[in-house]
Amino acid sequence: MKHRITKAIRKQIDRTNEMEHSMPLFLTSSFCFENAEDMRAAFADETDDNIYSRFSNPNVQEFVDRLCVLEGAEAGFATASGMSAVFSSFMALLKQGDHLLSCNAIFGSTHTVITKYLPKFGIEHSYFAADKPEEWESMVRPNTKMIYVESPTNPGLDIIDLEAISALAKKHNIILNVDNCFATPVSQQPINYGADLVVHSATKWLDGQGRVLGGAVVGRKDLIKEIFLFCRSTGPALSPFNAWVLSKSIETLEVRMERHASNALFLAQSLEGHEKINWVKYPFLSSHPQHAIAKKQMRDGGGIVCFELKGGVEAGRKFLDSLQVLSLTANLGDSRSIASHPASTTHAKLTEEERQSVSITPGLIRISVGLEHREDILDDIRKALDAI
């Protein structure tokens, strides 16, 4: 097997005596031992035997193994949600007095964790701008332990030059932690550019059908060991059922993402220049400010398209109300297209200035482009634009 996609699809936990083709569901909280000595050895970490599903479970392991193949990672640990993956990667590796340097354009809950909860543990942070790489190095402090980035960012679709940020991290011996949720490993493998850790909200494209919550951290074995030990004691374990769903989803990830991305590119190109829109943002449009970087590090532009309506917040609300096909829901990365208006929903609590600093303008619309026929997606959006 030469290709990582084949390896990921064929990777499977050992068959049981039933000789099943598809992985059965190991819906069990704990695992049995033949005798006291086997049990002692497992607890002493002398064997890899499953003990308890908070620590490990075959379904969870299969999902993690498949994701590791796709990301080119040495090891991984799966969690109950993307946020528990992000939080665990911070808590396991940062301590009082450490400094976290993060891109300012990050998912809202990650921002809350960094600014509200990490300070409780004496962990400092500062934010750098995605589009000002010339300033990044000056923000590194002697106690900077981790650099955290999303690329493309949610929802602004800014692109971070992974090669450049990784060179900086290596130079100063800092852990580089990349949220690869938007690109997925189909489009981008941050570890190839030098990332030490990759975090995922598996809830999004990895599931791809809006069914389950899940998350994962994959990367350097020594760092994953620390994350495993933290999670084993604190308990953000992924449910075996969700892992079973996610593992099967990996088998179709590449083919789904190719269609999401081609639909998204078609939509972005078709909407550019529309009279009701100020601008359209998509990493693979040549008008994207970091288009060259996107082309360098991504195989496709991903499944999210953003545009700004000329009429601001009011136009955004009217646009959502006029959609007939697209869903209004707080998720992304589904087979069904979704529209959202961050200024009146997910980012409504931020000040206007804070929103501006992370590229969230009043009329910004985010489309998670689904697998419907591309003409139907475009038609629904065009009709909603006409209705504004």
The CB-of-34 to ligand PLP minimum distance in angstroms stands at 38
334 binds ligand PLP (CB under 6 A): no
Looking at residues 117 to 156 of the shown chain, list those that interact with ligand PLP (rule: CB under 6 A).
Answer: 150, 154
The CB-of-237 to ligand PLP minimum distance in angstroms stands at 14
149-188 footprint of ligand PLP as x/- string (CB under 6 A): -x---x------------------------x-xx------
42 binds ligand PLP (CB under 6 A): no
114 binds ligand PLP (CB under 6 A): no
**C-beta closer to ligand PLP: residue 322 or 335:** 335
Residue nearest to ligand PLP (CB): 82
Beta bridge partners of 121: none
Only one of the segments 76-84, 89-97, 139-147, 290-298 lies at the binding site for ligand PLP (rule: CB under 6 A); that segment is 76-84
372 by Cβ neighbours in 10 Å (0-12 / 13-18 / 19+) ranks as middle
290 binds ligand PLP (CB under 6 A): no
Q: Rounded distance, CA 371 to CA 262, Å?
A: 10
Only one of the segments 18-26, 60-68, 77-85, 256-264 lies at the binding site for ligand PLP (rule: CB under 6 A); that segment is 77-85
79 binds ligand PLP (CB under 6 A): no
340 binds ligand PLP (CB under 6 A): no
**C-beta closer to ligand PLP: residue 83 or 191:** 83
The CB-of-153 to ligand PLP minimum distance in angstroms stands at 8
Given 26, 50, 61, 82, the residue binding ligand PLP (CB under 6 A): 82
187-226 footprint of ligand PLP as x/- string (CB under 6 A): --------------x-x---------x-x-----------
Binding residues vs ligand PLP (CB under 6 A): 81-83, 86, 107, 109, 150, 154, 179, 181-182, 201, 203, 213, 215
